[in-house]
Amino acid sequence: MNGNKMQDKNEQCLNYDLIENLRLTKFPKPGELIFYGTAGFRTRAEKLDHVAFTMGVLSVLRSKKKKAAIGIMITASHNPENDNGLKLVDPSGEMLESSWEKIATDLVNIDDGELVPTLRKIIKEFEIDENLPATIILGRDTRISSPRLADCAIEGINACRATLRDFGIVTTPQLHYLVASINTNGAYGEPSLSGYYQKLSAAFKNIRGNLSDSGNYLAKIQLDAANGVGALAIKQFQENLKGFLDIDIYNDGNGELNHKCGADYVKIEQSPPSNLPVKPNLRSVSIDGDADRIVYYYTDEADKFHLLDGDRIATLIAEYFKELLLESQLTLNVGLVQTAYANGGSTDYITNKLKIPVECVPTGVKHLHHKALEFDIGIYFEANGHGTVIFKDSATELIRRAAKDETISESKRQAARKLSQVIDVINQTVGDALSDMLLVETILHAKKWSLIDWEQSYRDLPNRQLKVKVQDRSAITTTDAERKCVLPEGLQRQIDQAVARYSKGRSFVRPSGTEDIVRVYAECENKEDVEKLAVEVGIAVYNLANGVGSKPVLSKM
């Protein structure tokens, strides 16, 4: 009997000989270094085989350490078709813990013969019990390279004798949902794709009732799916929401991924995507390649393009939640988290009109998500349309209880009931373009608003973004959530002097995390002035980062 137990335990341990052999012969490290960034590893797909294999192995160690299932998502989001990437998802569906990002980077970049000794060091340092079982949740997008990379990851997982649950083609938010629901034994939602669709669709329809159109709100949208994996998901929602929301899908997977379409393209180009019919004032939506970003927009009768981005979505949600909390008389702390890229018009509206506290953090969803956890209800969105809402368990419990409390007035109970229902529309694990779409549609319907009504809530300040080519991006360092430049010396002073010359001027710079460029953001009262401000700051960056001499290269982001 003891022998059988020992055998069972050994069957859960890593097969070090196989791991070493595979890394040396089948998955050797290429010449260049690759780093685990905000979105995990991301580069040309042909350079990622050894990364996928090694992360298959590391995910098993992480699973044993956390005594929970860990996710692996293979995707490159809004990147071109030839790129790909891979990231790990922690037990609650959140991003990988920051300290393990460095471990991932080190493990991928060490010499091939050092992989096994390094694994042993990690196991010893983190006191990982090898005899514990491990479960890995695997998902991938629709890129041509994704099946191959999934197979590489599976070889690493199998070499560690872990349990694999391969969900095949899924959106990134669906993978996060699956990890959270599996680790909560279904408390977060049924741990399946059908459970994901059912949870969000049912909550959306419960809030809407039998009404579709409402005032200026028409229950019809046209959606650009970026020719990505989100197209498959939105087709499922299209079926589930018949009679509640009419969705016309474009760039549905038959074209090139993210090419002249998708949320990132629309945000940067400030124009509709290709293949989308331009109809005056029709509510339009674009998601990105892996369906975690979303932007709204419309074209008016004069053929002028109007964008409602992540800042607009955040303010819409914040205003709606504040209204419901006032109606329900529930005392909960609501806060909104932004980055320096948030438009000053939105920050002013939230702070001075809505009286909701705003926190600014460095760029990257992991920073926003972490800060949002400090509020009872934390709302976070990047301007690019990536974001969600997080409820503390205590806040959810209070709302659910009030929704059923017959000792309070019907109006208070009804407001609490709406809050309770809207919680289930939200994928709290990560920014989810389709969940966010259903939330926005819920709010617009409740307010009886068209996009024109929504846009009129406040005025965005004109803004401009530039990229400046530099010799070494590390010459630029920042502080204060990337809003102030520390080095090179004197650059912040020149930025301040430039900003002071323009009404409502604001500008900041930050180095790219992957290439030797510096990103410049500028905004001010007038569109003509913002172009001048951006160029002035761009030239200052070039001169102080590279030395005065050659003509700076400034390009549109």
Single out the residue of 277, 281, 283, 280 nearest to residue 295, CA to CA: 283
- % pLDDT > 70, the chain: 96
Beta bridge partners of 42: 85
For residue 11, pLDDT over 80 is answered with no
For residue 69, pLDDT over 60 is answered with yes
274 catalytic residue (yes or no) = no
pLDDT tens per residue, range 99-142: 999 999 999 999 999 999 999 999 999 999 999 999 999 999 99
Q: Please state, as a whole number, how many other Cβ atoms lie within 10 Å of the Cβ of residue 235.
A: 15
Beta bridge partners of 484: 479
| Token representation of residue 543 | 């001169």
pLDDT tens per residue, range 55-68: 999 999 999 999 99
pLDDT tens per residue, range 300-337: 999 999 999 999 999 999 999 999 999 999 999 999 99
Coil, strand or helix at 202: helix
Are residues 159 and 18 in contact, defined by beta-carbon separation less than 8 angstroms?
yes
Q: How far apart are CA 383 and CA 381, in angstroms?
A: 6
pLDDT tens per residue, range 243-253: 899 999 999 98
Give the CA radius of gyration of the chain: 24
Mean pLDDT of 218-243: 94
Region at 498 (left for phi over 0; alpha for psi -120 to 50; beta for the rest): alpha
Q: How far apart are CA 264 and CA 385, in angstroms?
A: 9
Q: How far apart are CA 225 and CA 246, in angstroms?
A: 15
pLDDT at 475: 86
pLDDT tens per residue, range 489-499: 999 999 999 99
Catalytic, out of 59, 63, 77, 284: 77
